[in-house]
Amino acid sequence: MGEPHAPDEWTPLEPYIAQLVGMAAQNRDPYGVMQTVKTFAPAPMLGAIRELVARDDAVPMILQRFPALQPHQAWTALFIEEFRLEFFGEGDDDEAPDAAPAAGAPAVEGE
């Protein structure tokens, strides 16, 4: 058994991790699981989840904080991404900063 964590902002999620692990183990659709959580979670929990998925390190942080999810890393990453899409939407790929040349930079067209 792992050592218990000191109470932190993620402690309210602990009672639900076993259910999440079970869904991951059954390879349940991450989108469907996200929708279920979104439907039943109280507003403060949804706020915490929103803050979590906004972090660049959300997946490694959640895997470290809840080691039971570690065997399901790929599923957990998909689940987190479904929440990101739900809360923040998809970026417009045509306007992605990495896809656009810097201002004043010449466009290179297959030369």
Query: Is 40 exposed, middle or buried, given 0-12, 13-18 or 19+ CB atoms closer than 10 A?
Result: exposed
Q: Any idea where the domains of the chain sit in the sequence?
A: 11-90
User: CA angle, corner 58, sides to 11 and 13, nearest 5?
Assistant: 20
In a structure prediction context, what are the per-residue pLDDT tens digits for the chain, which is 111 residues long? 455 667 777 888 888 899 999 999 999 999 999 999 999 998 988 998 999 999 999 999 999 999 999 999 999 999 999 999 999 998 654 444 444 444 444 444 444
Q: pTM value?
A: 0.74
| Buried/exposed code over 2-13 (b: 16+ C-beta within 10 A; e: otherwise) | eeeeeeeebeeb
